[in-house]
Structure 1
Amino acid sequence: MSVPNDSPVPPVSASGRSSARPVTRDYSVLAKVVRESGLHRRRYTYYWVRLLATVAAFAAVWAGIVLVGDSWWQLLLAAALAVVLAQLAFLGHDGAHRQIFRSRAWNDWTARILANVFVGFSYRWWTAKHDAHHTAPNQEGHDPDVSPGIIAFTPAVLASRHGWRRWFARRQGWFFFPLLTLEGLNLHVASVRTVLGRGPVPRRGVEVTLLLTRLVLYVAALALLLPPAVAGAFLAVQLAVFGVLLGGAFAPNHKGMPIVPADADVDFLRRQVLMSRNIRGNAVVDFFMGGLNRQIEHHLFPGMPRPNLRRVQPIVREFCSTLGVTYTEVGFFSSYRIVVGYLNDVEHRARDPFSCPLAAQLGR
């Protein structure tokens, strides 16, 4: 995997001297190797089996709700429903990235139905937010996942907070998992605000109809099938577990990795690799993280079918090693320790990549 040497823009090393190795075409070299490996081929059997099995599990949970009736055992079914909805959300994510089918329309409609009808959040809201994240992961002013909110992800946001908000921001890591229990509710609220808002929403009529019908029918079904106290507890447990599962699958992939200044100009390969973190694990980790534990490979090749990310990983790791680009991979529990530690000390841990060892890989 040799690297071309005809790029006009050499990187700058940590010492400030220009390196002879170009960076602007590094990704092109890797992409050619991966393309020739055939790992972009569709995995129809994998996705059809997963789609049908997950929809069947969705139906089975609802059948269980009807059969169990007035019982606090319904809370176990609420947790089971949250797991199924998270899996449907991961499949919608894959469809939005065009991983499932060759046809753009088939991917779009599959993701739209999974998101709006089954999971209950807007396909448009999700794709707009997630595409912006993929374009500039961890870059201030560009990545919505590090934009100001309840959590302060950057030193600039932390510095702007005072009083109890600053007290909270300095301890926010300890509140990370409790806050994730609200993420499910946040997804629904943000989705409704998007489809009913003034911004552009392709197929707005379809999204409004599907999303609002799903949300109303879900609450109505719980009200009709369960006593008020059980129905309320069911809804709370389902939303809380769903938020933890979904937020817990995305957060470890980038939180605690370098924050990129808004005006930084970083080549595509380093932008995706240096700001992403892989999570080691087994089939259980793969299942609960929806394949997103191979975040580096997913960011480099977002259209690659999920099961192929495991197979392309050795190629990417070796290529990064050849270039001297840091490839970060940690254990499942270690990743959350890093996230909590980072959030509790954003002021010092959110290093400027141009004043730390990563400068040698990012350039100025």
Structure 2
Amino acid sequence: MAATRNAVTAPSSAATRKDTLLTRRYIEGLIADGKHVIIFDNRVLKVDAWIPYHPGGDKSIRHMVGKDATDEINALHSKEARQRMLSFQIGRIEGPWLNFLPPIQGGKFRPYTEDCVSDEESSGPESSGQETSQPPSPVFDAVDTASATRQRKSTTTPAPATDDDDKPKPFFLDARTQEELVFDTAKYPSLDQENQERIRHRYRELDQQIRAEGLYDCRYFSYAIECFRYTLFAAVSYYFLQIGWWGTSGFFLGCFWHQLVFTAHDAGHMGITHNFHADTVIGIIIADYLGGLSLGWWKRSHNVHHIVTNAPEHDPDIEHMPFFAISHRFLTSLRSTYYDRIMTFDAFAKFMLKFQNYLYYPILLFGRFNLYRLSWEYLFCGQAPKKGPAWWHRWFEIGGQVVFWYWFGYGVMYKSIPDWSSRLTFLLISHMVTSPLHVQITLSHFAMSTSDMGVNESFPQRMLRTTMDVDCPTWLDFFHGGLQFQAIHHLYPRIPRHNLRRTQRLVLEFCRDTGIPYTLFTFYDGNKEVIGKLGDVAKQVRILEECRKSCAEQGVFSDHH
């Protein structure tokens, strides 16, 4: 009976069970039992029953377990979806919530037993023999008074044992991690709870201001212009195909695909009609039927990217080993929680990463071929949802793949082009022309912070810390397709892209009020930043190789080498 009193506060007779006040300690016990519990607008949601039905996959939910997901949920979901979530409410909390570290990110949770002490007495790690999932400080564990350097506890998910686990890591990798963390701590606002709550409050006020100015309303006339541009590129490609100019035809087909992706991106975020099924159908027709890429795969990956942006262990959009590493942390063979595998820093990776700043553009020229592979894995390897409102999307997408490879693979490549050399020319040109899109996507994040600032960093601060915008004249907006406003898009993903430039003014005011830096580069300077970041990691790979060679020659390896 004592445990029950500690776990909940009984509601009044008029209140429902969903209004029961749950203690932090009780919620921790639920998570320790394997339950998926998140906080939304001071409501406690247990979403285990919804995970198999979630159209965006399970990983995005798992990264929110034990955390206040209010801002993430509001940013990525419609009002109707948020209302449906309330059916999973099991109670409420009072006051600000101090986030746990989710189990998928390595958080440890103590089971709730009948001999538990009260919630107040069990709030710190010293009250239990088991490790709590919440470190004493949101960023640092302790202060080394001798060096005045605060030490950060590792929060990465432990990887399965490998032969390299017993080998000590070169000290300069840990030193670099600490250096980047200290730099970001000095550059961005304090992570104390009061300050982060102020940022969250200001962020939500900005959302209301954006709604009041009608910036969530889609400008459909802008899409009429987009459709005219798409039709023009397709028609020109078809014309040159008919007269036998295979390379020229492939070029304009690539332009057609390049422009189409922007609208598929809008549809994936429900930024066109704001209706889940209507926008999904639009997105699938564009992505699968016309482009050969899976919208469902993109949404599953992209949702996680929006939640754990630029986290080396968790964000699939920066996990490109063995070809690219934007952080020295990849040099320690991290485990990806998204792909559920070790990103091995093996001999091939060591060779590729040493030259990644030179190989960056050549590799991106062929990026579309990798997107085909990822799409097929999603559709045919059991990653797509089989239940819930999106159960039929997979079959609609598979139909789109059949249609795409019939018209493109058979109708264009095989029937319309007479010989294999011309087919190869057409194939390569049409796919390489889309490479500016891959540059645009990586440009927004590759040069930005990858530090782990702890679970208490607010959603808006994390988005602005890990994302840059690209400054360009208005007449070039069509070329960037809204992706030049990635920082703004990450703050409010459901704003239609044709309204992002108008939203920029409001976001700049928000950044001035909160003291969060807003990163803005020209396209040229942004590329210089990315190449510089890749070159810096490549230099670290060469240093690491020299270090190991020296140690091998001396027959020793210690933390001091």
TM-score w.r.t. the length of structure 1 is: 0.85
Match of 1:303 in 2: 494
CA deviations on 1:134-169 (whole Å, 9 max, x unpaired) are 122112332111225221232221233244522321
In structure 1, the partner of 2:300 is 128
SS in 2 for 1:153: coil
Answer yes or no: is 1:156 the counterpart of 2:347.
no
Identity %: 26
Give the alignment partner of residue 482 of structure 2, picking from 291, 296, 300.
Answer: 291
Matched, 1:276 2:467: yes
* Residue 107 (structure 1) aligned with residue 279 (structure 2): yes
Q: Is the 8 A contact 2:292 2:405 kept in 1?
A: yes
Q: Which of 225-234 and 320-329 deviates more?
A: 225-234
- What is the aligned counterpart of 1:49 among 225, 229, 239? 225
Deviation of 1:254 after TM superposition, in Å, equals 0.8
Q: Which has the higher helix share?
A: 1
CA drift at 1:17: 9.5
| Counterpart-to-counterpart distance in 2, 1:164 and 1:127 | 30
| Among candidates 522, 526, 529, match of residue 331 of structure 1 | 522
Which structure carries more relative contact order (alpha carbon 8 Å, separation 6+)?
Answer: 1
Q: What are the ranges of 5 or more consecutive residues in structure 1 without an aligned counterpart?
A: 1-5, 350-364
Range moving further from structure 2, 97-106 or 19-28: 19-28
Moved more, 330-339 or 340-349: 340-349
More strand per residue: 2
Q: Is the 8 A contact 1:134 1:299 kept in 2?
A: yes
Q: Which entry has the higher C-alpha Rg, 1 or 2? A: 2
59 and 197 in structure 1: CA distance in 2 versus 1, 3 angstrom threshold? farther
CA shift at 1:309, angstroms?
0.4
Deviates more, 1:15-24 or 1:307-316: 15-24
**Corresponding residue for 1:215?**
405
Segments of structure 2 that go 5 or more residues without pairing to the other structure are 1-94, 99-136, 140-184, 334-344, 386-390, 541-561
Which residue of the partner structure matches residue 84 of structure 2?
none
User: Partners of 1:155 and 1:79 in 2: how far apart?
Assistant: 37
CA gap of 1:48–1:19, structure 2 versus 1, over 3 A, is same
State the superposition RMSD in angstroms: 2.6
Aligned structure 1 segments of 4 or more residues deviating by more than 6 angstroms:
6-13
Does 1:183 pair with 2:183?
A: no
Q: How many aligned positions are there?
A: 339
Shift of 1:117: 0.8
User: How far apart, in 1, do the equivalents of 2:429 and 2:416 lie?
Assistant: 16
Code of the residue aligned with 1:127 in structure 2: it is K
Counterparts in 2 of 1:164 and 1:316: CA distance versus 1, 3 Å: same
Matched letter for residue 496 of structure 2? P
CA distance in structure 1 between the aligned counterparts of 2:398 and 2:211, rounded to whole angstroms: 39
Alpha-carbon distance between aligned partners in 2 of 1:16 and 1:117, rounded to the nearest angstrom: 48
Please give the alpha-carbon distance, in whole angstroms, between the structure 1 residues aligned to 2:200 and 2:468: 22
2:429 to 206, 221, 237: 237
Report the Cα distance in structure 2 between the residues aligned to 1:347 and 1:265, rounded to whole angstroms: 32
- What is the rounded CA distance, in whole Å, between the counterparts of 1:347 and 1:324 in structure 2? 33
**DSSP-derived class of the 1:138 partner:** coil
* Structure 1 SS opposite 2:534: helix
Provide Cα deviations, 1:241-282, integer angstroms capped at 9, x if missing partner. 22x122012111111100043954421111111111011112
2:260 to 88, 106, 115: 88
